[in-house]
């Protein structure tokens, strides 16, 4: 690409002459580099920017990213903050991924996107920004196993069970933690139930986390819970099943909601029944319980019908969460599977990536999650299609990471 074409392309997408304070690159400059200073040729911010550039263009492995960058080295050296004409090889990307702290990377990127969202919402009025509390944000707690499909046996390439707390509205991972070899999610869940993470949030989780201590801690830190009851709490599940299948004749609180969704040859009906009648009965063991509910999911597909019934408890009172809102919150919980875990595995091919050593898979998972949150922020409904657009117009991808996210539309 000659200079006239380069300048024309830069002008067309309005690349910034200087990087904006609200750019992804500026945020990445805060990540601490764990490498020895001697021999370091590329900064962490540059390496991660190149990784994200390749990923938004559809490259899913360090080797593919390195090749994508190398094929565009001439003009990338003109628009990126780099002092040399050469770019790193695939091994360099892997080495840098192992030399940083995954939790810090997630914190830096989450704070950056949160700051952009807050600035977008409040404009140039810092007083409004200061008065914004977390509100009743909905967060989903769920696990995923990294390296889960390839069956590696090496000591440094074992599976990585990961627990994540996911903001279902913003699409951001608030916290993630890898469990130890002989641990499970319950052994580390207390690290997620802190005042900073819980206050003002509705924490939804699957049946594994339906525990007395979980409910007590969440309500203690001024949060709310939304939990499913299954066989791990057999007594609770039996009590709820009996109540909803044989309700007392004098039951005064019986509220319902129903949704119908049709598409792709399938009809799905969800019906929720909620009540406060068991609050006094359950309150002695389940701190803060304010409603119990039953959800019936009926699916008609290919001429067949299947039905599933689940039960649960919540600390949200009827005045704060009607039956319709409870149904919406329960469905939103699955965004952590549908919009995060599924897209990481299928769209970004996370489990197929051969980066397996050290903490590198975890850092890549953080970058993948951030990329999806960034797409959500931009209002992208079809991520693979947008990746093809960025691959065809890579200057737009550069502008996305170096310019202000507030002006990228």
The confidence score (pLDDT) of residue 148 equals 47
Contact (Cβ atoms closer than 8 angstroms) between residue 197 and residue 172: no
Q: What is the pLDDT of residue 17?
A: 55
Cβ pair 333, 204 in contact under 8 A: yes
Regions in the chain scoring below 50 on pLDDT:
1, 3, 6, 126-135, 148-150
* Sign for the pseudo-dihedral over CA of 236, 242, 244, 250: negative
The rounded distance, in Å, linking the Cα atoms of 339 and 335 is 5
Number of H helices, E strands in the chain: 19, 9
List the structure tokens of 145: 């196993």
Q: Are 380 and 400 in contact (CB under 8 A)?
A: no
Residue 264: Cβ within 10 Å count: 6
Q: What is the pLDDT of residue 15?
A: 55
Q: Checking DSSP bridges between strand 224-229 and strand 137-146, what pairing results, if any?
A: unpaired
- Model confidence, pTM: 0.83
Angle at 170 between CA 136 and CA 382, to 5 degrees: 145
pLDDT in tens, 368-403: 999 999 999 999 989 999 999 999 999 899 999 998
């Amino acid at each position: 690409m000659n200079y006239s074409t380069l300048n024309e392309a830069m002008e067309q997408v309005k690349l910034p002459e200087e990087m904006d304070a609200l750019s992804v690159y500026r945020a990445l400059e805060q990540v601490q580099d764990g490498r020895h200073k001697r021999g370091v040729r590329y900064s962490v911010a540059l390496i991660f920017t190149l990784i994200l550039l390749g990923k938004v263009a559809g490259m899913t492995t360090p080797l593919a990213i390195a090749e994508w960058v190398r094929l565009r080295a001439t003009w990338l050296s003109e628009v990126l903050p780099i002092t040399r004409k050469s770019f790193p090889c695939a091994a360099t990307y892997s080495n840098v991924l192992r030399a940083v702290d995954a939790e810090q990377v997630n914190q830096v990127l989450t704070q950056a996107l949160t700051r952009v969202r807050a600035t977008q919402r409040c404009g140039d009025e810092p007083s409004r920004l200061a008065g914004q509390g977390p509100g009743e944000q909905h967060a989903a707690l769920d696990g995923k196993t990294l390296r889960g499909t390839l069956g590696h046996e090496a000591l440094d390439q074992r599976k990585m069970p990961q627990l994540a707390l996911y903001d279902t509205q913003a699409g951001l991972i608030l916290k993630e933690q890898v469990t130890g070899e002989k641990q499970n999610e319950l052994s580390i869940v207390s690290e997620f139930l802190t005042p900073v993470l819980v206050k003002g949030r509705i924490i939804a989780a699957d049946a594994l986390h339906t525990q007395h201590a979980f409910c007590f801690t969440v309500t203690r830190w001024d949060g709310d819970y939304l939990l499913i009851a299954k066989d791990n709490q057999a007594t609770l599940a039996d009590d709820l099943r009996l109540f909803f299948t044989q309700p007392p004749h004098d039951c005064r609180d019986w509220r319902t909601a129903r949704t119908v969704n049709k598409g792709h040859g399938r009809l799905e009906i969800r019906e929720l029944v909620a009540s406060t009648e068991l609050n006094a009965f359950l309150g002695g063991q389940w701190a803060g319980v304010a409603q119990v509910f039953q959800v019936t999911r009926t699916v008609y597909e290919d001429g067949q019908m299947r039905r599933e019934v689940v039960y649960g408890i919540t600390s949200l009172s009827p005045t704060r969460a009607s039956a319709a809102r409870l149904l919406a919150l329960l469905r939103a919980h699955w965004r952590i599977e549908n919009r995060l875990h599924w897209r990481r595995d299928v769209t970004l091919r996370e489990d197929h990536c051969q980066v397996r050593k050290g903490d590198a898979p975890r850092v890549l998972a953080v970058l993948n999650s951030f990329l999806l949150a960034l797409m959500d922020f931009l209002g992208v409904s079809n991520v693979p299609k947008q990746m093809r657009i960025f691959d065809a117009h890579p200057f737009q991808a550069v502008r996305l990471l170096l310019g202000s996210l507030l002006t990228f539309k």
